[in-house]
Every structure is written in C-alpha cells, then in structure tokens.
Structure 1
C-alpha cells in the first residue's frame, strides 16, 4: 500500500498551483539578516571599501557576500542586478542595474524602490513642484512597464524595497480627517484603506507618509508622527520622532541627532547638532549616510555601519550618492559614463559603464526629490 499511496501523493503535489516566491523581497530580507549577523565581526574591513569612491584602487568583485553564485541561485540576473547595482534616470531614460535601459513617455521626477522594480513618477518637467499632473509607471527589472491609473498631485507617497506596494494619504472629509491608502503596484489594486486623524496646516494636499513593512508612518504638524498598521487596519502606539526604516529611527533630542533601534531602545549613533547633520538611512536601516550641512558639499560625508559602529569618510559630494534596493551605496558619473557600487559588509566595489542616453537631469532611485 505504501508505494501506491506515495505515487498518489506525488501526483496530487504535482497538480498544486504554487505561486512564485517573491525573489526580491526574500533577497533583501536575507541580506538584512546577514548584515546584522556579520556586524560584530566587521571590525577590520567593514566600510573600508567605500574609500574606493575617493580614489583608492580596489579589485572588482561580485557584490553581496562570500558566495555570489549561491546568493543569486534561483534569481534571474536582472533582479539580482537591480538589487545590487541601483537604478537611476537621466531625462526620460531609466538605467537598470544590469546596464539595460527603458524609456518612459515623460520626464522622470522621482524613482521609488519596490520589490517588483522601480516605480517611476513622471511629468512634463523633471522637478516635483510643478502644477502639472504626475504619472506613476512600474518598470520591472526586465525593462517591461505598466502604468498605474493614479495622479497624486502634490502629495508625497512612499514605497518599501521589500514589497510591491505604494502608500499615500488622502483627505477624508474633515480638516483633521485622512485616510492611508496602500496599493499593489503590480496590479493597481487597493490593499488597505485606514482612517487616521491629525493636523496639517499646509504645504501638501495630504500628509507625507513613509512605508516600512506593515507600518505606514504619517507625518503631521510640529513633527508629530502617527503609525498605521495597514495589514490590521488600525492606528498603533508609536513614540518615535519621525518615520522608521528597518526598525531604526532618526531623532533629535536636545543637542544630539541620533539613530535609535526601536526594538531595544539602544542609541546606535549620536552626533552633535552644532554642525547641522543630515542623517539618511539605507533602505534596510543598517547604514547611515551622515552629511554635515555646515560644510561645502565637496568636502564629503560619513557612512556609519550602525551595528559595528565603524565610520568611514567619503571625500566626494554627498548628494551624488544614493542607495541600491539591497542597501549598497552607489554613485553615477554622467561625464565619465560610469557607475560605482560598494558593498560595505563584504568590502568590495564594482564599476560599470552606463548604457544608453545620459542626457537630462540625473535622478537616483531612493533619494527624495519631493518638495
């Protein structure tokens, strides 16, 4: 009886419709966990490779760990390149991580990372403070496209590199009444709509939001931040000073700007506010880019590994650098026609040529160009 039963079970299993695993989400989450495990042992090499951006020659290697072949097992090369090498736009040309390009119908305003590929905000002009309409197009890692039936006007939406989602807020009939809306960028279907209250005196049509996992953070007047669990459909307690990224939040307390781990309450990094520091967390919340705004831009910036505490100075213009969806630091040199991507944990950097047109304003995915 055992053999016939096994055969029957195998036939039944073969007929099951098993959905494809979300490769991008799994890879980003895996790298986040691996980076935290390795954080305590990084001491010697850590972020040293980032100095390559300032002119130190390093051997080129595959990004992301000790086993690049194993890292990419089961993942198509286009998705792996999207995660590792970043995305940027020049004019109406989207440059994907593997060197391929995609053309969109309008000029690029902002690029947002999602697990399905970059979501591109476009319009008649490249700046965001224009009164004209904005459109949102998903460009997948294989360069195919689909446009959402959506015009958010003067609002600041948000995405999460580990999810195929777009979150935004809209008015709900009263001066303090709003709704948080979460859409699936692959289908355009609404995933959640949650009521929230707060004061917004002006500046935007609706409060700016940030998306991190199951939580949407809504920013109101005087720095007040409300957290919404979009899966549960409810407002949840939150004491952070601003939105969190990967469970870490940037706060200003007295005369200190700092990064705090929400789960433990530990202060991971702290610096005096005397130099007007601007702290930008990587998409996984593991690294901090620290720009001292009392200096000239060409004097550089710091990159801090928040788990190991190791800090490296990059002597290049800070606003030339963005993050990849996988948490690497990357820059684009349109004059030289190259991009440089560095993996802080593995200590490797990669430079590659830019394909396609580099005409028009440069926009790096993951950077906020909203105004």
Structure 2
C-alpha cells in the first residue's frame, strides 16, 4: 500500500513479506519518499515533452533542407525578408543562327558577335569565302571568323585552303599561270625575277606581261625600254649574262661584271674572242689623268712641266699593267674615290701595287 501511495511500482509477489513481518515506517520518512516519487514522475514527464519537441525540430529541419535542395535555388534571410537568388538555368540546346536547328551547346561554334554556328554551317561559310573573294574573309556581323579557335569544326583541307587563299588574296600584284586551263596562283616561291613556273602544269609565265614566258626583255616593260633607250644614247653596254647596264668612264675595254662575267665593252662579246682594241685613246688618257690625280704631290716643279710628264708616265704604266690580278695592296691615306663602286674614301683607301687601282675596304675584301 505504501508503494502505491508513493507512486512506486509494486515489488514482485515473491518478494512481498507477510504483514506480520512488515515494519511501520516513521511518518517523516514516509513523506520524504512520497516527495521523491513525485519528483521522479515530473522528470519523466519533462523528458517525454523534450522528445516530442526534438522530433518536431527534426521534421522542420528536413523540410527546410528539402527547400534548399531545389535545383539552382539559394535563399538568403535579411531580417524578416527572404531574398530569392535563383539562377537562370542554361538551355539544354541552342539554335544555329544559319540553319535554325537545335544543337547541344558544345557542338556549336561561338562567334565574337554572340552568334552560334553548327559544324556544317561553319564549313559552308568558310568554303564559300575561299571560292568567292567578295565573301573573304569568312565573317559574321562584319567580324571575321577566328579560324585558329574553330579548328575542330573544320577539316584539314579547309584549313590548308584558307591559309593559301590568305596569301593569294593578300598579294597586290598577283601572278597566275598563263595556261588558260590551269590559271593556278603562283606563290613568291614559284617566281624568279621576271619568270614564274607553275607547279601544277609546269608552264612558264612572264611576270611583266603575265603571258607566256619569252626570251629577252618583255616589250610591255616600259621601265626597261626607257633605260635601254637612254643606254643606247649614252653609249652604255649591257651584260649578256645578268643584263646589268655598265658605263665605262676610263680604262681598258676589258669589263669584269659584278656577276663575274668578262666581256668586251666595244662589242659585248666574251673577252679575248673579238678583234676589238684593248684601249681607246680617250679612255686611256682619262685613266692616266685619274692615276695622277690620286697620287700624292710630287717634288716641287713648274706646274706646266709636271702635269704632262706625270700623265705620260701614267699612260705608259697603264698600258703595261692593264692585265693586273690585284694580288698586292698598300694602304694610302687621304681622300679618294673607289674605282670599283665609286664610294668616297674620306680617310684612307687601298691601292693596287700593280695597276694603281684604288678600292675601298669593302671592295678590297669582298669583290676584288
């Protein structure tokens, strides 16, 4: 009975002692036990309420997590307001601006003008530009395509053709094969001076008149015709090997051209194959006077006697040494003109010991 009054569970029947053996507890101890039983019951009640509240909190938290797990949705709470930072979803496909078909964005070429092209349309635009110069370079909204950035959309043949046309369309004076059935563009590597050789049909083309190649000067080359007319009027000669025009002011008729060809200044034939004289008297005297002018001043003598004697001696010396091979040189100070290139030698020049030819340092080292 005391356990029931205290709110405690009853002991098992086997443990219940007979009434005769039970002792009566004091009243004060009985009240303490009852108070203890009441406190234990209230604690159990609080625990039950705490479990209920925890369950509600878990349900609310799961509900909030489900809201946060929505695709591409973010929430931010500022005070009592909730700001929705929802990001726009990217479309699964995008249309090609040319054909209008929808494609995966990774299969489209993105242009600088924000337009997208599929692979077939990109190739069609580029090929049309290579076939029609008015459409070159390939572009969209007047902005050229970046070929290097879209290589994976083009075939190797189209890329190679684009770079070839880039050279062709960028050339101002274009040369094409003169064969009407070929008409291949001749690149700079296929052109040598005034002749272009077609790598396809092997036909030679004149780069001046753009017709079939021909021997001699091109009649349509007005610049060459004017120079030749001037050369004929001045008595100049032209090298048969390199076609350079040569003027002989003084010296013998033996010409050694810059191309190393040796020929006669009178008839332009190869040297020592013609009966022409080695010297002309006027050029011989001009050479003698040039030698005298280039020499240092001699011992003091009357000017009217000094000059003729020096010229006569220089004339005789030039006749004896005109076949000089320029093996020995001496360095002479003072101003002079190079007999080979005409350059001014302000401080010093090199003079050939054999023929007294004056040369600058460059001609002495690299030409003679």
TM-score bracket for this pair, using the shorter chain length: under 0.3
Give me the TM-score of the superposition, normalised by structure 2: 0.19
Give me the TM-score of the superposition, normalised by structure 1: 0.19
Larger RCO, structure (CA 8 Å, separation 6 or more): 1
Q: Which protein is richer in strand relative to its size? A: 1
Which structure has the larger Rg?
2
Q: Which protein is richer in helix relative to its size? A: 2
